[in-house]
Amino acid sequence: MAKIYLDHGATTPLHPEVLEAMKPYLTDLFGNPSSLHSFGREVRKGLEEAREKAAAAIGAEEREIVFTSGGTESDNLAIRGVARAARQRGNHIITSAVEHHAVLDACLGLREEGFDVTVLPVDGYGMVRVSDVEAAITDQTILISIMLANNEVGTLQPVAEIGKIARGRGVVFHTDAVQAIGNLPVNVNDLHCDLLALSAHKHYGPKGVGVLYVRKGTRLKVFNFGGSQERKMRPGTENVPGIIGMGRAIELAVQELDKKADRIRKLRDKLIAGVLEIGDVRLNGHPTERLPGNVNVSVRYVEGESLILSLDLKGIAASSGSACTSGSLDPSHVLLAMGLDHQTAHGSLRLTLGAGNTEEEIDYVLSVMPEIVSRLRSMSPVYAGQRRD
Amino acid sequence: MAKIYLDHGATTPLHPEVLEAMKPYLTDLFGNPSSLHSFGREVRKGLEEAREKAAAAIGAEEREIVFTSGGTESDNLAIRGVARAARQRGNHIITSAVEHHAVLDACLGLREEGFDVTVLPVDGYGMVRVSDVEAAITDQTILISIMLANNEVGTLQPVAEIGKIARGRGVVFHTDAVQAIGNLPVNVNDLHCDLLALSAHKHYGPKGVGVLYVRKGTRLKVFNFGGSQERKMRPGTENVPGIIGMGRAIELAVQELDKKADRIRKLRDKLIAGVLEIGDVRLNGHPTERLPGNVNVSVRYVEGESLILSLDLKGIAASSGSACTSGSLDPSHVLLAMGLDHQTAHGSLRLTLGAGNTEEEIDYVLSVMPEIVSRLRSMSPVYAGQRRD
Amino acid sequence: MYTEKVMEHFTNPRNVGEIADADGMGEVGNMKCGDIMRIYIKVNEQDVIEDIKFRTFGCGAAIATSSVVTEMVKGKTLDEALEVTNKQVAAELGGLPENKLHCSNLAADALHKAIEDYRNKRVAEKSNLKETGK
Amino acid sequence: MYTEKVMEHFTNPRNVGEIADADGMGEVGNMKCGDIMRIYIKVNEQDVIEDIKFRTFGCGAAIATSSVVTEMVKGKTLDEALEVTNKQVAAELGGLPENKLHCSNLAADALHKAIEDYRNKRVAEKSNLKETGK
Ligand SMILES: Cc1ncc(COP(=O)(O)O)c(C=O)c1O
Ligand SMILES: Cc1ncc(COP(=O)(O)O)c(C=O)c1O
């Protein structure tokens, strides 16, 4: 059976060159980078080269790069680290309703500690309004966290503009660029951000490693204690093979960006057009300001998990924002924030394209989709009554 | 030149079978374990098998295993997680002066949040007295954290007895078993512990992955927010290859324990005897109640880092508790807690043996050591005046 | 995640559809949770379920439980059918993932509602008859 | 971590030892920090450092800085030697790790102390001579 992976938003395979870069660090180069002897020094060298690569990829300085265990940790360290460090100056945090849970829940969790959290609404495309950000800032505001690209619907946020405003008002600005890197240019100076989160496995690097960019001068209060690794911002023996892989992956992601993004964008547009032809299907997210690989649609009268299972039986890997897959009882908070009703939100299907996908694969997906949809609709009590052809 | 690795306390190479187990998860099995489709389900299966292995290795149930990014995170999650969850019941924590910084600093950091931390002294061998633990418990005590085996001097702590006392007094008990696993039997029921920390790279597994055992019913307040991975105790996409590696490594560590530990213990005793023959060398830590692979000595009139560098020039990897290598201005807090004066502490040398070491290597080390020591002593202003031969 | 039997029922669901002149219909669930199940029954003189059909909007578990419950009770008397619980339905499928046990495992409830609907109608009919006969 | 030059001086330190009849001796550091350096000098009539030796208890940086400073000032006048700073010593070695800059980079201080010791002794001698000559 065909095996077609259309869930690059969830995770990506290792780039073969990333694995090559990691291999020596899984065998001979096993020393602890904190060790003084040659086994340690060699590994330290590799680690610092990875740091240079990560810094170069986003226009940062090496000492502004902190390696973490992934996007979730980066987001938490940024948000909770800044909040606690800036507590004396103010207690107000601004974020958006479409952030990843790592950001949203980190912010909301701070309410318990006396912080005041403004969760900005979005428009029908899932986009934050710059004017809303501006209007929300008070003299108590210490942190703004708005993502660069949404993981579910692919909508790109006006982060550079928000960054400029934050800078002007003297507010620390964090952006979650986990989905953006490798798909669009990411430069910490153009974005005017003070903190930026990355996760290697979203850009063909290994799982379990991420980066938090921390602009020099930005104060963080860390909450893990131990060794003095990563300038004490992230104690613990480093995930060396992971960090080496992250360095190589981000280097490749930036090098291959233009070539890859254009090709994927074309496939995406073909896939969107084809899926919309099924009828009673709506595109979620912005029509143009979206990630090159993101397709998110709602298929009316049908529930998302049953779509995913049906596609899986045809060898196609996809995801959904339906409650059954969101890990909670409600469907995706992103789709609801965009104003979708529950049925439409439950019927969402996310197909995220990546480096390995081909036009033939898209053709195959489009050839099996209509049949799957009509079978599920034929079982649906809401379809039977309300057919609108 | 010979390359002899005697720093297994800092980190260990990957067991070849561990790497074999990881490989598929670095290539084809790349799905996100949270994904519903086949790519995700296959990986989920591997992850749960690793959990079974980790549970079996320490006598736990699968749902009591939380995978983390390493020993440091496990220790922090245990200590700070319990402290915050139990805040209503009391504010007193007991730990020892010879804990790893991940435990000690996590505890001390809680002072800022109003906790009262008792740091128990140790005897000359670095051992905590059970009676001290018992005497320190008050009705405010919510947590005791005492390590199983010390990473610097190798001394084994009377953890099973301490666990029994903690259980009897209704106090949550955490033990850092990072150095112990694979070197002595570790069973959470025999130890009467509620929490137990492990780190894969100390037992021939990969860097950047650990386990926190959490006995069912133990309440933790986590401080990272995001996805619902690891029952929400540890959100974020899992370090899949790392976890697979940890599972295999801990399985092997337990299987090979007896065979390996006996062999290493013999080499250790030979090494200790040989080094003591140099003269003006003292053994640090307990003579018998110590890790099978740990040799820690103080070489009088000589500073530790210069010893390490000299050994490194002969291809031998070692470590020291001297200030120059401890990352702070003071020498090892462990050696000072044991009552060593500064000079003796600065002159400490740790040689930690592992699976790959041979008797020939020990012979080589013993053949070069006297010359190294006498060269450094000949440069030493403290030796010149105080020679005591 | 799902057992083979769940997937088999999801792939080849039994008794999908409506019964135009159903004797009873039961619906459970709501769009907020993303699960709606509707069960139609045809009951004969001996109180036996002669025909049963379902339509479900929902996840794999919702579809499979709907399908299997129709299979479990077809040919059974109403009293027997009323004894079928959601738990038994899940067991019949070889178990369901824990997070599916509450929201998607409602097929027995839908069946019971259909039976109730049938019985209510019968009571109404009888009283109609009585009234007519009066 | 360390430059090649540091390692070269660590491996082959110049001028190790004591000068039995030294004209001046300087010691810096203390056992708490784990670094003790002692420098001995022999000064001729022209105020030139004719001979210099050191003994050091300490890390690689401490030994290498001691060694290189003796090399830097041997044959220099005292005034020239006094101009040598710890910073220059580190630069001569191609740099030192940041965490070594403060605690282990004290060789110039030891040298200055030795010169001070020499000059103090000279002053004392002269006043002795004067007293004797009186
Ligand atoms: C936008 C965004 N932020 C954060 C994360 C969290 O990253 P990780 O799961 O690697 O911790 C993800 C991925 O799930 C994401 O898509
Ligand atoms: C006893 C002990 N606890 C905790 C740790 C921390 O483990 P890791 O560095 O893997 O986070 C170590 C290792 O450095 C250790 O030896």
- Write out chain B residues lying below 8 Å of D16, CB-based: 378-379
| B24-40 core/surface letters (b: 16 or more CB in 10 A; e: else) | ebbeebbbbbbbbbbbb
Block residue for tokens 């462990």: B334
Residue B127 — φ and ψ, nearest 5°? -100, 140
| Token pair listed for A36 | 């003084």
CB within 8 Å of B306: residues ≥ 6 apart: B376, D10, D58, D59, D60, D62, D63
- Asked if residues B335 and B348 have their Cβ atoms less than 8 Å apart, the reply is yes
Which ligand minimizes its atom distance to the CA of B240? Answer: 1
Block residue for tokens 């708005």: A146
| Token pair listed for B50 | 């690793």
Q: Give me the catalytic one of B85, B160, B283, B324.
A: B324
Contact (CB<8Å) A228/B305: no
The residue of chain B with its CA nearest to that of A235 is B72
CA of B167 to the centre of ligand 2 (A): 25
Mean pLDDT, residues B67-87 taken together: 97
Domain carrying residue C79: 4-132
**Which of B285, B281, B279, B271 minimizes the C-alpha distance to B304?**
B281
The partner residue sitting opposite C60, judged by closest CB among A305, A378, A382, is A305
CB within 8 Å of A106: residues ≥ 6 apart: A75, A76, A79, A80, B224, B225, B226
CB atoms within 10 A of CB A56: 16
Q: Which domains does chain B carry?
A: 4-12+257-388 (3.90.1150.10), 16-255 (3.40.640.10)
For residue B327, the model assigns a pLDDT of: 60
Alpha-carbon torsion B289, B293, B299, B302, what sign? negative
Which helix (H) or strand (E) segment is C114 a member of?
helix C107-133
User: CA-based angle A123:A127:A130, to the nearest 5?
Assistant: 100
Environment class of A386 (CB within 10 Å of its CB; exposed 0-12, middle 13-18, buried 19+):
exposed
> Mean pLDDT per 10-residue run, chain D (134 residues)?
94 96 95 92 96 96 96 97 96 92 88 97 85 61
Strand partners, C43: C49
Q: Please work out whether the CB of residue B199 comes within 6 Å of at least one atom of ligand 2.
A: yes
Q: Please work out whether the CB of residue A142 comes within 6 Å of at least one atom of ligand 1.
A: no
Q: Give me the catalytic one of A324, A336, A368, A382.
A: A324
- Write out chain B residues lying below 8 Å of C1, CB-based: 36, 41, 44
- DSSP type of residue B31: -
Distance from the Cα of B61 to chain D's closest Cα (Å) equals 45
Q: What was the ipTM of the complex prediction?
A: 0.95
For residue B301, the model assigns a pLDDT of: 96
pTM strictly above 0.90: yes
CA–CA dist A192, A205 (Å, integer) = 26
CA–CA dist A115, A87 (Å, integer) = 9
For residue B326, the model assigns a pLDDT of: 60
| Token pair listed for B326 | 């401890």
- DSSP type of residue B101: H
The pLDDT of residue B388 is above 80: no
CB atoms within 10 A of CB D19: 17
Q: DSSP states of A61-76 as a string?
A: -GGGEEEESSHHHHHH
CA–CA dist D42, D20 (Å, integer) = 10
> How many residues are listed for chain C in this entry?
134
CA–CA dist A347, A354 (Å, integer) = 23
Whether D contacts C, i.e. 3 or more CB pairs less than 8 A apart, is no
Closest atom of ligand 2 relative to the B73 alpha carbon: 11
The partner residue sitting opposite A312, judged by closest CB among B7, B37, B73, is B37
Q: What is the dihedral of CA A133, A139, A142, A148, to 10 degrees?
A: 10
CB atoms within 10 A of CB A4: 22
Q: What is the dihedral of CA D71, D77, D83, D89, to 10 degrees?
A: 0
Distance from the Cα of B57 to chain C's closest Cα (Å) equals 25
For residue B389, the model assigns a pLDDT of: 39
CATH code at position C87: 3.90.1010.10
Q: How far does chain A reach from its first CA to its final CA, in angstroms? A: 33
- Is residue A328 classed as helix, strand or coil in its secondary structure? coil
- Asked if residues B59 and B187 have their Cβ atoms less than 8 Å apart, the reply is yes
* Amino acid at the residue B293: G
For residue A388, the model assigns a pLDDT of: 41
Q: Give me the catalytic one of D103, D116, D119, D122.
A: D103
**Which residues of chain A carry a pLDDT beneath 50?**
386-389
Contact (CB<8Å) D31/B341: yes
For residue D102, the model assigns a pLDDT of: 78
Q: Are β-strands B348-352 and A65-68 bridged in parallel, bridged antiparallel, or unpaired? A: unpaired
Contact (CB<8Å) B105/A228: no
The pLDDT of residue C134 is above 80: no
For residue B282, the model assigns a pLDDT of: 97
What strand order describes the sheet that includes B281-283? B281-283, B294-299, B348-352
Helix segments in chain B, DSSP class H: 16-26, 38-58, 71-85, 101-109, 130-136, 159-169, 240-255, 257-276, 304-313, 323-326, 333-337, 342-346, 359-379, 381-386
CA–CA dist A286, A123 (Å, integer) = 10
| Token pair listed for A80 | 């909770």
Catalytic status, residue B107: no
Which ligand minimizes its atom distance to the CA of B103? Answer: 2
- Is residue D99 classed as helix, strand or coil in its secondary structure? helix
| Token pair listed for C86 | 């959601």
The pLDDT of residue B233 is above 60: yes
Catalytic status, residue C59: no
For residue A328, the model assigns a pLDDT of: 65
**Does residue A371 sit at the C interface (CB-CB below 8 Å)?**
no
Distance from the Cα of A146 to chain B's closest Cα (Å) equals 15
- DSSP type of residue A13: P
For residue B387, the model assigns a pLDDT of: 45
Strand partners, B156: B149
What A190-195 contacts at long range (C-beta under 8 Å, 24+ apart), as own/partner pairs, is A190/A59, A190/A160, A191/A148, A191/A159, A191/A160, A191/A163, A192/A160, A192/A163, A192/A164, A192/A166, A192/A167, A193/A159, A193/A163, A194/A166, A194/A218, A195/A78, A195/A82
| B115-132 core/surface letters (b: 16 or more CB in 10 A; e: else) | bebbbbebeebbbbebeb
**Does residue B26 sit at the C interface (CB-CB below 8 Å)?**
no
Strand partners, D77: D48
Whether B contacts D, i.e. 3 or more CB pairs less than 8 A apart, is yes
Q: What percentage of chain B reaches a pLDDT higher than 90?
A: 94
Cβ–Cβ pairs < 8 A, chains B and D: 74
Alpha-carbon torsion D94, D99, D104, D107, what sign? positive
Q: Please work out whether the CB of residue B102 comes within 6 Å of at least one atom of ligand 2.
A: yes
**Does residue A255 sit at the C interface (CB-CB below 8 Å)?**
no
Helix axes B257-276, B240-255, angle to 10 degrees: 80
Q: What percentage of chain B reaches a pLDDT higher than 70?
A: 97
Average pLDDT, chain B: 95
| Token pair listed for B69 | 């990014």
Q: Are β-strands B294-299 and B316-317 bridged in parallel, bridged antiparallel, or unpaired? A: unpaired
CA of A100 to the centre of ligand 1 (A): 7
Helix segments in chain A, DSSP class H: 16-26, 38-58, 71-85, 101-109, 130-136, 159-169, 240-255, 257-276, 304-313, 323-326, 333-337, 342-346, 359-379, 381-386
Number of domains forming the structure of chain C: 1
Q: DSSP states of D61-75 as a string?
A: HHHHHHHHHHHHHTT
